[in-house]
């Protein structure tokens, strides 16, 4: 397989299943379900920094901090949808999804997009890297960046 195959139905199916699984895990506080959707090491990027999660303990800390942020907002559910999903290679899918944090029918934050790379490793698909487009929500950024390397400081491209 060479080049990117835009919006392949199988890529959409895999991306949608992982998005639904992570949504169920976040809403129900189910850490094992959440972890099952990822590969370690897992890297995620925000506009404020980069975090590499090497262990289940790192991932558990991140999960707890993001859940605490959502609970502090009063979140009742996540409204998320796959925007695009394409095979980059036989073993890699690049996808984008849009998320809305909701309390009943009330939108609690500005919708944001997340780009992710889903890879097939050890006979299963899992998220290996995500780039979160969270803006104008410092508390959400802080939760996402809560598992930094101890000596790492935020790196800003623009001041």
What's the longest Cα–Cα distance across the chain? 45
CATH architecture of the domain with residue range 9-144:
Roll (3.10)
pLDDT in tens, 52-79: 889 999 889 889 988 988 888 898 998 9
What pLDDT is recorded for position 18?
97
Q: Is the pLDDT of residue 146 over 80?
A: no
**Measuring CA to CA, how many Å separate 81 from each of 4, 134, 148?**
21, 16, 28
Q: Where are the beta strands (DSSP E) in 9-111?
A: 38-46, 49-53, 77-89, 92-103, 106-107
Q: Is the pLDDT of residue 9 over 60?
A: yes
Q: Is the pLDDT of residue 4 over 50?
A: no
pLDDT in tens, 108-144: 888 888 899 999 999 999 999 998 776 666 655 665 6
Q: Is the pLDDT of residue 157 over 60?
A: no
What pLDDT is recorded for position 2?
42
pLDDT in tens, 11-61: 999 999 999 999 999 999 999 999 999 999 999 887 777 888 899 998 898
What pLDDT is recorded for position 80?
92
What pLDDT is recorded for position 44?
84
Contact 109, 137 (CB under 8 A): yes
What pLDDT is recorded for position 135?
64
What pLDDT is recorded for position 50?
82
């Amino acid at each position: 397989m060479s080049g990117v195959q835009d919006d392949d139905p199988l890529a959409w199916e895999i991306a949608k299943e992982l998005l639904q699984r992570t949504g169920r895990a976040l809403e129900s506080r189910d850490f094992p379900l959440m972890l099952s959707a990822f590969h370690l090491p897992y890297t995620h990027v925000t506009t404020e920094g980069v975090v590499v999660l090497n262990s289940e303990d790192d991932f558990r800390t991140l999960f707890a901090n993001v859940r605490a942020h959502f609970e502090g907002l009063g979140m009742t559910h996540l409204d998320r949808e796959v925007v695009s999903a394409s095979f980059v290679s036989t073993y890699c899918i690049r996808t984008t999804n849009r998320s809305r944090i909701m309390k009943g029918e009330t939108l609690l934050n500005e919708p944001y997009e997340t780009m992710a790379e889903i890879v097939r490793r050890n006979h299963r698909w899992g998220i290996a890297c995500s780039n979160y487009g969270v803006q104008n929500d410092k508390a959400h950024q802080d939760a996402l960046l809560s598992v930094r390397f101890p000596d790492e400081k935020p790196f800003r491209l623009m001041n």
